[in-house]
Structure 1
Amino acid sequence: MLEAYYNKEEIEAGCDEAGRGCLAGPVVAAAVILPVEFYHPLLNDSKKLTPSKRKKLVPIIQSEAISYGVAFVDHTKIDEINILNASFSAMHLALDQLKTKPTSLLIDGNRFNPYKKIKHHCMIKGDGRFASIAAASILAKESRDAYMEKLHEEFPEYDWKGNKGYPTKKHRAAIQNIGITPYHRKSFTLLPPPQLDL
């Protein structure tokens, strides 16, 4: 079961991102401040939920949260500053949107760039431990998935509706056969190196 908070005395914002490992499209981050008493039996790490359960939770999180923000950093910026810095940037932009100022940040993962001198706690697998991070993971993933599904209409050959830009066999086969789109991350290894016959 998810923990409601790390420190009950703080105004905690949970932060998470989606799309770091993708070959195309943006990285998306969300920040969520939940009431201490918030509970929903379905709430969990977004990766452990079906798409239908995630979609069901989005309006609940949005209506019940004290405040939330969602931010995109596009593929060109990712290529310019690298994916790690782009993830931090997206989190900062999501935090900028919060109407209530947090006093503490719960960050999914093991690294973070400090934000406005607000103390932060990095939590490995935090999206499976704390409700606010789980909520952020759902908002980030659903926002990004919806965006990639729209891009799929423009470039259906890459199956972004199915893979959301992740490096599946079908996605890489399309890159191999057709080439890249304007949305691909040029700083990423889009195709594995050819195997040498020894």
Structure 2
Amino acid sequence: MTPVSPTLDYELELLGSGAVTVIGVDEVGRGAIAGPVAVGMCVVDATVGPLPEGIRDSKLLSEKRREQLAPLARSWAVWSAVGLAAPAEVDELGIIACLGLAGKRALLQLHEAGAHVSSATILLDGNHDWLNPALASPLRVVTRVKADRDCGSVAAASVIAKVHRDRIMIAEHERLPHYDWAGNKGYGSSSHLAAIAELGSTELHRRSWLAPTT
């Protein structure tokens, strides 16, 4: 079955209803047992051009294709950013709070780049607003199930965030190759779990997610 191609229809609808900018948001690494959780953001406005050909939800793309598309997505967006929350923060605060923390950090990057964050409409994948609880002042957040599949700004954000996080895990693999992070990117593959059982956990692991013996 051919994957659904995202469009900018919903973003243009929001812009036509009064939004000055729309920030598409998606998270990556939520279910990993090692590495940070990442939140990607792509800002679009009425001046944005056509979505780069091939952009999809990052889960529908090969690693090679994501690497090709990520710079195109960054160039296409008016602004883009990736915020991170570390494994120790996930252990301390929980994954939902860390989605908000990573999102807050991405918003700060956008603000520092010149984006008018406070007046933007945030388009968040899913049906739960995990972003506003992390913010001192609430923003206008619109949630949409399968926005990463259907909405171009969110799909682009997912690709940017996925490539950013994957590169972190590949770099950590060079330091600690036994955990096979270049292959599993911190998710619970059989080789990853076997390495934890043999060698124990590292500072990059979400230790509260592991068996007590690790």
Deviation at residue 174 of structure 1 after TM alignment = 0.8
With normalisation by structure 2, the TM-score equals 0.84
* Structure 2 residue ranges without an equivalent (≥5): none
Deviation at residue 138 of structure 1 after TM alignment = 0.6
**2:185 aligned partner:** 164
Provide the rounded CA distance (Å) in 2 between the counterparts of 1:191 and 1:49.
32
Provide the rounded CA distance (Å) in 2 between the counterparts of 1:86 and 1:29.
10
Aligned residue identity for 2:100: F
- The worse-fitting range, judged by mean Cα deviation, of 71-80 and 100-109 is 100-109
Helix, strand or coil for the counterpart of 1:80? helix
> For 1:103-118, what aligned pairs fall within 5 Å after superposition?
103-111=120-128, 112-114=130-132, 115=135, 116-118=137-139
Helix, strand or coil for the counterpart of 2:38? strand
* Structure 1 residue ranges without an equivalent (≥5): 194-198
Provide the rounded CA distance (Å) in 2 between the counterparts of 1:81 and 1:19.
16
Query: RMSD in angstroms over aligned alpha carbons?
Result: 1.7
Aligned residue identity for 2:34: A
**1:101 aligned partner:** 116
Identity of aligned residues (%): 35
Aligned residue identity for 1:108: D
Deviation at residue 56 of structure 1 after TM alignment = 1.1
**2:204 aligned partner:** 183
Q: How many residues align?
A: 192
Contact kept? 1:176, 1:191, Cα under 8 Å? no
1:155 aligns with 2:176: yes
Deviation at residue 143 of structure 1 after TM alignment = 0.5
Instruction: Give the ranges of 4+ consecutive aligned residues of structure 1 lying more than 6 Å apart after TM superposition.
Output: none
Contact kept? 2:173, 2:181, Cα under 8 Å? yes
Helix, strand or coil for the counterpart of 1:97? helix
1:122 aligns with 2:126: no
Contact kept? 1:31, 1:70, Cα under 8 Å? yes
With normalisation by structure 1, the TM-score equals 0.91
1:3 aligns with 2:7: yes
Deviation at residue 110 of structure 1 after TM alignment = 2.0
Provide the rounded CA distance (Å) in 2 between the counterparts of 1:91 and 1:26.
13
- The worse-fitting range, judged by mean Cα deviation, of 46-55 and 114-123 is 114-123
Aligned residue identity for 2:71: P
1:75 aligns with 2:87: yes
Aligned residue identity for 1:68: S
Deviation at residue 37 of structure 1 after TM alignment = 3.4
> For 1:13-162, what aligned pairs fall within 5 Å after superposition?
13-35=23-45, 36-98=48-110, 99-102=114-117, 103-111=120-128, 112-114=130-132, 115=135, 116-162=137-183
> What CA deviation, in whole Å up to 9, does each residue of 1:56-106 have, x standing for no partner?
111111222111111111111111100111011111211221122242000
> What CA deviation, in whole Å up to 9, does each residue of 1:132-182 have, x standing for no partner?
100110111100000000110111111000000001111111111111112
